């Protein structure tokens, strides 16, 4: 059975994000919060910004591009500026598309959008993301429709009525929210089964292979296993790997991790993610 890939984490290259004046504290939805999420930990431009030989194409941020072309599907990330299809959607329709993968006409958005994670986005963060996308300047860029050579389900689950995110803070609970619904780390770093990431049994064990211009990279084990996972690193080393892609020995890690986006995280959010990863059950790496 063909694995349906539900992650955008295997985009080939990343661009340098601007450090944003945001804090972990939330005071209702805002475009500022949405900008922090989109250009920071959520890393939406990692798939939705066109790439050229030197990286992101200037003046084309969020204008859409080809993300993945494999035997299962040819996926294009759509134009997220008002010049794209979302310009004609209501806020409620755009929110549903982001969190549930359903367009206004009822058609399903397929892989690699990480809906296994996005269904858990909190209402205020989802509203903030929509508010920020509405502030973007329109960028004209015709993006073809994606095509799938695998069957897609009618939906990724029942309708999501409301989600309340945990209180922001340096806690494992909030770190789980960031590493899951916001950053979708746990989808890329969990082995894939026929129905997607095996979150219930193999959370964070790594092992998924990403093929790109850089060659093949394998998602690391994020559990605190002493030899296979992050148990061998101190917090400073782990943070450098997350935000810089630099190992303790100074060697550089391969894509597709969106290091530049993660570098825009507040120190408190980064601390919360590390605290959460330390709390996972230690598992050996997937074979």
Report the alpha-carbon angle 59-51-238, nearest 5: 105
pTM of the complete model: 0.88
Mean per-residue pLDDT for 171-178? 98
Under the banding of pLDDT at 50, 70 and 90, the label for residue 12 is very low
Highest mean pLDDT among 16-20, 170-174, 194-198, 215-219: 170-174
Least confident of 8-22, 50-64, 107-121, 124-138: 8-22
Distance, CA of 144 to CA of 129 (rounded, Å): 24
pLDDT band of residue 133 (cuts 50, 70, 90) is: very high
Question: Predicted confidence band at 26 (pLDDT cuts at 50, 70, 90)?
Answer: low
Strands 51-52 and 215-218: unpaired
Report d(CA 27, CA 10) in Å as an integer.
33
User: Residue 168 — pLDDT band, cuts 50, 70, 90?
Assistant: very high
User: What tokens does 236 get?
Assistant: 């400073």
Q: Once rounded to an integer, what is the mean pLDDT over residues 20-35?
A: 71
Is the pLDDT at 240 greater than 60? The verdict is yes
Per-residue pLDDT at 55: 79
Q: What is the end-to-end Cα distance of the chain in Å, rounded?
A: 19
Q: Residue 27 in contact with residue 128, Cβ under 8 Å? A: no
Which among 119, 130, 218, 108 is positioned nearest to 163, based on CA atoms?
119
Alpha carbons 178 and 75: distance in angstroms, whole number: 25
Contact call for residues 83 and 118 (beta carbons, < 8 A): no
Asked if 257 and 46 touch (Cβ cutoff 8 Å), the reply is no
Which of 23-27, 152-156, 197-201, 233-237 has the largest mean confidence?
A: 233-237
| Residue 47, pLDDT above cutoff 60 | yes
Which residue ranges form the domains of the chain, and what is each CATH number?
Answer: 31-148 (1.10.760), 172-279 (1.10.760)
Lowest model confidence (mean pLDDT) among 16-25, 178-187, 203-212: 16-25
CA–chain centroid gap for 192, Å, is 16
Phi, psi (rounded to 5 degrees) for 205: -75, -10
**Per-residue confidence (pLDDT) for residue 16, from 0 to 100:** 32
């Amino acid at each position: 059975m063909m694995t349906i890939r539900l992650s955008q984490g295997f985009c080939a290259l990343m661009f340098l994000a601007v450090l944003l004046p945001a804090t972990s504290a939330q005071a209702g939805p805002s475009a500022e919060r949405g900008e922090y999420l989109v250009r920071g930990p959520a890393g939406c431009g990692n798939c939705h910004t066109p790439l050229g030989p030197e990286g992101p194409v200037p003046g084309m941020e969020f204008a859409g591009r080809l993300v993945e072309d494999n035997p299962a599907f040819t996926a294009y990330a759509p134009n997220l500026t008002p010049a794209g299809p979302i310009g004609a959607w209501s806020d409620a329709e755009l929110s549903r598309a982001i969190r549930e993968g359903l367009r206004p006409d009822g058609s399903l958005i397929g892989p690699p959008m990480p809906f296994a994670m996005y269904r858990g986005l909190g209402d205020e963060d989802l509203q903030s993301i929509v508010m920020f996308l509405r502030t973007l300047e329109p960028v004209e860029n015709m993006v073809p429709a994606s095509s799938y050579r695998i069957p897609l389900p009618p939906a990724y689950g029942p309708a999501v009525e409301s989600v309340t995110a945990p209180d922001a803070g340096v806690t494992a609970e909030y770190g789980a929210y960031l590493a899951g619904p916001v950053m979708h780390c746990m989808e890329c770093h969990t082995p894939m089964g026929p129905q997607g990431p095996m979150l219930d049994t193999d959370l964070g064990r790594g092992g998924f292979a990403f093929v790109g211009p850089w060659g093949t990279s394998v998602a690391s084990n994020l559990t605190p296993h002493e030899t296979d996972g992050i148990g061998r690193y101190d917090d400073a080393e782990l943070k450098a790997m997350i935000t810089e892609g630099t190992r303790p020995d100074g060697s550089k890690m391969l894509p597709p991790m969106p290091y530049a986006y993660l570098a825009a995280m507040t120190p408190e959010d980064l601390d919360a993610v590390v605290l959460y990863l330390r709390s996972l059950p230690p598992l050996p790496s997937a074979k």
